[in-house]
Amino acid sequence: MTPAAATAAARAEGERLLAGFAAAGALRVEAPVLLPAATLLDLWGEDIRARAFLTRDPVQGEMVLRPDFTVPVVEAHMAAGAEPARYCYLGEVFRAQERPSARPREFLQAGFELFARDDPAEADAEVFALFAGLLDGLGLQPVTGDIGILMAAVRGLTTTAARKAALLRHVWRPRRFRRLLDRFAGRAPAPPERAALVARLAGADPRALIAAAGPLVGLRGEDEIRDRIALLVADAGAPPIAAPEAACLYDLLGLAAPATAALAHLRGITPLMPAIAPAVDRFAARLAALARRGIDPATLPFEASHGRSTLEYYDGFVFGFHAADPALAAVASGGRYDALTAVLGGGRSIPAVGAVIRPALVAALREGRA
């Protein structure tokens, strides 16, 4: 198939998907191709930031070519949207590739976003079932997860606020998260350079150290530097995370099972980690809502760590649909992003969940080209 024919097939598939979204009650919306980088880029997370195409406008400053629709759609809804609301969209997104790759730098994205306060579990099930129906017959493998359970487990740890904040900051960076957890749990020593720095700082006068270092360079002032020194010294003296708590957290990171079995396992460890109880209850309600929509939780794959290397605004239910070829990007992915609405709503928030599909991949799978 020629590139032009493949593009036309992707566009036709995108329009078919939009018709399915519209039948589910969604209003079609658009989003600017050029977006202000200063206010929005951080919301996508580290991976997208590293792959964004940036340019500069003489009036508005640094701009970014749209890497995703969800953030601008949420921003528009929080400025003037009614409740509840369902939106859909279709358009190009742009992401740089780190090295020569079969994955395109520009591709079509079709998506659906749902804003509703009444029943988050039902909203999660609605979006997942909608996407499962639209992708039926393609032989895709679904996978689900729940970042909210992991975040609740971290918040409930008996350790310092600084250590919990560090773990939460790196939830979406699995390798960094694991290194921090190993150190905080006493399973791995601090890096030698960090240990040497702390040994030098312990008992020293921060003001004398700052003065001896010469003129300040960068954006941090003396107060911030002193606070950072105090934090490093305090962290070095903090006791390790209690062994039972650490064991439960490691167990959670590795949990992969059919959703019904995963729920039973989570119920079993909840007495050891009471902080996860509300998140586990939400998980149970979601599985019941999925069952009402014809999705069998006994066979639906669940991975507690799923979604931790994608977009950083997800903070609850996450899911994806994948082709058999592991070299292909996810055909569809999505999840819940309640906290993002508060960031873009200036303090006002609304529960929200959404997902996107790559129409070009769907068209290629339908035609046997992928």
- Tell me the pLDDT of the chain (370 aa) as tens digits: 788 888 899 999 999 999 999 999 999 999 999 988 876 677 776 666 777 888 888 888 888 889 889 989 999 999 888 889 999 999 999 988 776 655 688 899 999 999 999 999 999 999 999 999 999 999 999 999 999 999 999 999 999 999 999 999 999 889 999 999 999 999 888 777 766 666 666 666 666 666 556 566 655 666 666 666 666 666 767 799 999 999 999 999 999 999 999 999 999 999 999 999 999 999 999 999 999 999 999 999 999 999 887 778 899 999 999 999 888 889 999 999 999 999 888 888 999 999 999 999 999 999 887 6
Q: Cβ distance 357 to 331 under 8 Å?
A: yes
| pLDDT of 120 | 96
Residue 135 phi/psi, 5° resolution? -100, 5
Per DSSP, helices labelled H in the chain are: 3-23, 37-44, 46-51, 70-80, 120-134, 147-155, 161-169, 174-184, 192-201, 206-212, 222-237, 243-253, 259-269, 277-292, 338-344, 359-366
| Predicted local distance difference test score (pLDDT) of residue 202 | 64
Region of residue 6 (phi > 0: left; psi between -120 and 50: alpha; otherwise: beta): alpha
- Tokens, residue 183: 């150190």
What does the CA dihedral 243, 248, 251, 255 come to, rounded to 10 degrees?
A: -170
**1-140+348-370 and 141-186+240-322, same CATH topology:** yes
- Report the 10 Å Cβ neighbour count for 132: 19
The ranges assigned to domains in the chain are: 1-140+348-370, 141-186+240-322, 189-239
Instruction: Please tell me the number of Cα atoms within 13 Å of 290 on its side-chain side.
Output: 25
Structural tokens at position 42: 């951080």
Say what the pLDDT of residue 150 is: 96
**CATH for the stretch 141-186+240-322:** 3.30.930.10
Q: What's residue 197's pLDDT?
A: 63
CA 103 to chain centre: 21
Which pLDDT score, from 0 to 100, does residue 326 have?
85
Take residue 71 and report the two structure tokens written for it.
């953030």
Question: Does CATH number 3.40.50.2300 belong to domain 1-140+348-370?
Answer: no
pLDDT in the model for residue 288:
98
DSSP code of 121? H
